[in-house]
Homo-oligomer: A and B are copies of this chain.
Amino acid sequence: NLDVSDRDAQTSHRTVTVPGFINIATFAANSSNVIKGPAELKEVTRLSLESGFTYCQLMARSLAGPIISDPTSLKSAFSASQDSAYTNFSFTVAGTANNVDTIAQTANEVSALFLPFRELKNKVSTVAALLKNWPIEKQVIAEAKTSDLASVMLLASLQNRSIHITGVSNKEDLSLIMTVKDKDSKVTCDVNIHSLFVSQDDYPEALFLPTKEDQDFFWQNLDAIDAFSIGALPTLLAQITGNKVDVGLGIKDALPLLLSAVEEGKLTIDDIVERLHENPARIFNIPEQLDAAVEIDLDHSFKHTKRWSPYTKGGLNGGIERVLINNETVVLSGDLVSSAPTGKLITTAKVIPGIPATPSSANET
């Protein structure tokens, strides 16, 4: 149990120290672009580290479609990420109708197969073939909703394999997941943090957001939500509302939003650590970063950056006081103090059929 400290005598701020958070669905649209990729990854991982994340699992798509889907694009991503990350990180690979036969070639070098929503919509036989070809020990992340959600869980269940549903966005979907979880512990899910705080009431044009009713259902069934993610939601929302689309939208405001819920008694610090650290590490087989520690300040006033945030109601408090890696302060008062991007690519060891993959030991951030 994580206990919030007594108030600091000097500042009267409450603090709590937690393990490094895992940004399980990090959106970086240019990951595989050797020109634009490095600066973008620096920015996204810097924002992540400043927000308490010491590990970023990168989504394999941009808003336009898959960006990492074969050994060539993965190699470009590796190249672009060289000395460009402030956190440890791993890539995922997108399954599509075009890479069914080659998808397994990348399995040892990514942390999961990523099944993008739009490209695989109603493509049940493609999804079936992708799952068939993907090593059973490696995780699968599905963006599936409604029809595709039921079918991907059905296919995973028939294979008796793990599947993680990312960005659950409505009540019916969470309800179906809950029904499956009752019988099958291999299914896990996350919701995008912003979808716990903004709804279609706030942005009627954003039908991908939950309704207020969906959102209430999420809060009533937090136990069924294994992880919290950021994902592409803040970026997509900025785009369709005509706000400025910056790299790394939604990262800085994620934890203050969750802390505001702690303040309201809707969530505990433990709930957050389970969903941003313990469960993500277990679900994605991410090695513990025992040398990382994050000090949260619950009363630190949240400094809005120039970045747009989907949550515009203000009044958020709480943030990162300090991030320590190997006893060295790399973030102080929410700002990076270490200038070198020393985050390392984490790849799992060779998958041996029948034997769970052993992650290689993590290098320090």
Interface residues of A, Cβ cutoff 8 Å to B = 122, 124-125, 128, 146-151, 153-155, 157-159, 172, 175-176, 179-180, 182-184
Contacts and interface: CB of A to CB of B under 8 A. Distances in A.
A150 B123 CA distance: 12
Given A147-B147, A150-B150, A151-B150, A158 B176 contact: no
A184 B158 contact: yes
Contact of A176 (B124, B149, B179, B182): B124
A176 B151 contact: yes
Contacts of A172: 122, 124-125
Contacts of A183: 158-159
Contacts of A180: 154, 158
Top 3 nearest A-B pairs (CB, nearest first) are A147-B147, A150-B150, A150-B151
Given A147-B150, A150-B150, A151-B176, 18 more contacts: A122-B172, A124-B150, A124-B176, A125-B172, A125-B176, A147-B147, A147-B148, A148-B150, A150-B151, A150-B154, A151-B154, A153-B154, A154-B154, A154-B176, A157-B157, A158-B180, A158-B183, A158-B184
Taking chain A's interface residues, is the majority helix, strand, or loop, or is none over half, making it mixed?
Answer: helix
A179 B146 contact: no
Contacts of A159: 183
Specify which of A124, A128, A155 lies most central, judged by the most chain B CB atoms within 10 Å of its CB: A124
Contacts of A150: 124, 147-151, 154
Given A146-B122, A147-B147, A147-B150, A155 B179 contact: yes
Contacts of A176: 124-125, 151, 154
A154 B159 CA distance: 12
